[in-house]
A and B are shown apart, each in its own frame.
Chain A
């Protein structure tokens, strides 16, 4: 469970329980080895079949991106159109809006929501009372387990037009208040909701990294006259760099995926101009709008770019001397 574990699954395969070649026999042929493990395959096959059908077969469905597809005609009957859907995407103003919104939200998340768990973890770590620490942890983890429907419903009851804050402001003689339908501030609202829901949960991984710092380092720093703040900056923070890089890589890979359900649910309240992102575009244009080819093309393009981003971020992290994810 050390930080290195994250370097990749399978690193511990050598410690796997199982028959070391039972007696140092002569090498078994492949067929003999397969026969010896025949029962193991009854464990593997159903799961492998599941991933084949539900993860790999749908990928073939992406050929629709090169068709003028309608469900009625099916994949066999729909005409092939080459890259026409892709050229159509780039001329579609709605796609550009979605792309801009996606990138703005991703950027705001990176600036505000990404560092929040680090700050919270440091703050909680600096508490001396173990009981208070655990109590606060229990509370801040909770929202992570609530669905977006619940989170947004709760926020609406507090910050919405008929909500708690609006009621209070009316009582004090101030004008109406509705943070939930304001298109101008919507992107900040999205980030705030994200921080509320997942900031606490995000601290777990940083706590683990902090727990792995040997206390001698703090002692040595203290003896050298480092203040509490200096110890945080020069002992704790450097120890968090590997985890932070790792999370940053994952984050960059998902830069085109910003809170799908969260935005889908709130789009009716603020309008498509403020809340359309790439994923919601695919849903509205394809499933509801019936332009399957164009929507699939947008989804496919997004997926390919996302994969390229993760791979290159990973490579970059490795080149800079850090650890990658794979």
Chain B
């Protein structure tokens, strides 16, 4: 471990270890070029879409690599239309409620299964949960269950079936198992009950892992598409991803998307781009927070389980 930290600090200073030859200018040039290409490929499409959503109508119609004159008409028209706003509201509800419920359900189960040695039957439950990572029931049986439970066309059908991810449960459980034993043991000796220990000691100590898992859940709920397609017929209840699919990929015109009755509607392209941007913005907003954990190693552990 010590050696890795040494390497890291050495690199952090930007220095080259003494045994490493300075790279030739040609190699450095090629590397820089490749990196630049990768960055452009990843970033430019997103930047282009965002920029075009703000483009003035005449520029959007003729098509440019990057717009120079801007207008907010597309967004005004979309918010006048109402359907996209409705979709955003639905997705926001699913995301917030779903994430809170998921975190609660996942962390309680993880704490219950943290001590498989002492608790009779816990091991069996753990295996039962783990097994779900390797096979699922399939689309149609799931559909039949949701129908049987009367959840078709209900927003809850997008929250309840995905309440606990076995994978996330394992990550949180791993974290719980590495909490300082003495602290929890001391609380037990003081006569604190399991729930009190969980709420007062375990959860406050587990904020980093709960934050990461919460963001994973949130991104998952926000991106819900297929379940909504399967379970929700009522367009009033569609989450934003289905709305996006309808108006951008399927090319349906957004109803009522005009700025004002006496003005021509903004070009379809900018409207589409603006819907894409609205569906993406929440992800872009949480991304910097998520980013903090990439380097801290929490995520590495999370990926590996």
Question: Which residues in A have some Cβ–Cβ distance to B below 8 Å?
Answer: 1, 3, 5-6, 9-10, 12-19, 30, 33-34, 37, 39-44, 46-48, 50-62, 64, 71, 120, 123, 126-130, 132, 134, 136-143, 145-150, 152-158, 162, 164, 167-168, 196, 200, 204-205, 207-208, 211-212, 214-216, 218-219, 222-223, 227-228, 253, 260-261, 264-265, 268-269, 279, 282-283, 286-287, 292, 295-296, 299-300, 302-303, 306-307, 310
Of the candidate stretches B75-83, B135-143, B255-263, the one touching chain A is B135-143
Residues in A with CB closer than 8 Å to B250 are 268
Can you list 13 A-B pairs, Cβ within 8 angstroms, ordered by A?
A: A9-B130, A19-B118, A33-B120, A44-B113, A142-B46, A145-B223, A148-B225, A196-B42, A205-B300, A260-B226, A282-B138, A287-B139, A299-B139
Q: Closest residue of chain A to B300, judged by CB?
A: A208
Residue pair B145, A58 in contact (C-beta under 8 Å): yes
Max chain B C-beta neighbours (<10 A), residue from A129, A132, A142, A153:
A153
* CB <8 Å contact, A264 and B226: yes
Contact among B15, B16, B108, B141 for A296, CB-based, below 8 A: B141
Task: Using CB atoms, name the residue of chain A closest to B286.
Answer: A145
Of chain B, the residue at the smallest CB distance from A54 is B161
Interchain CB contact under 8 A, A48 and B128: yes
Which B residues are in CB contact (< 8 Å) with A282?
138-140
- Is there an interface contact between A279 and B139, defined as CB atoms closer than 8 Å? yes
- Is B49 at the interface (CB under 8 A from chain A)? yes
Measured between beta carbons, the chain B residues less than 8 angstroms from A268 are 249-250
Chain B count of residues within 8 A CB distance of the other chain: 120
Known: A5-B301, A152-B249. A16 touches B138 (CB 8 A): no
User: B22-75: which residues lie under 8 A (CB-CB) from chain A?
Assistant: 23, 31, 34-35, 38-39, 41-43, 45-46, 48-49, 52, 63, 65
Q: Which of B20, B128, B129, B169 contacts A222 (CB 8 A)?
A: B20
With A61-B141, A123-B34 given, is the CB distance from A162 to B269 under 8 Å? yes
What residues on B are CB-neighbors of A42 within 8 Å? 112, 194-195
A12-B174, A40-B119, A129-B14 as given contacts; A47 in contact with B304, CB under 8 Å: no
Complex: how many Å from CA A285 to CA B299?
A: 39
* A contact patch SS: helix
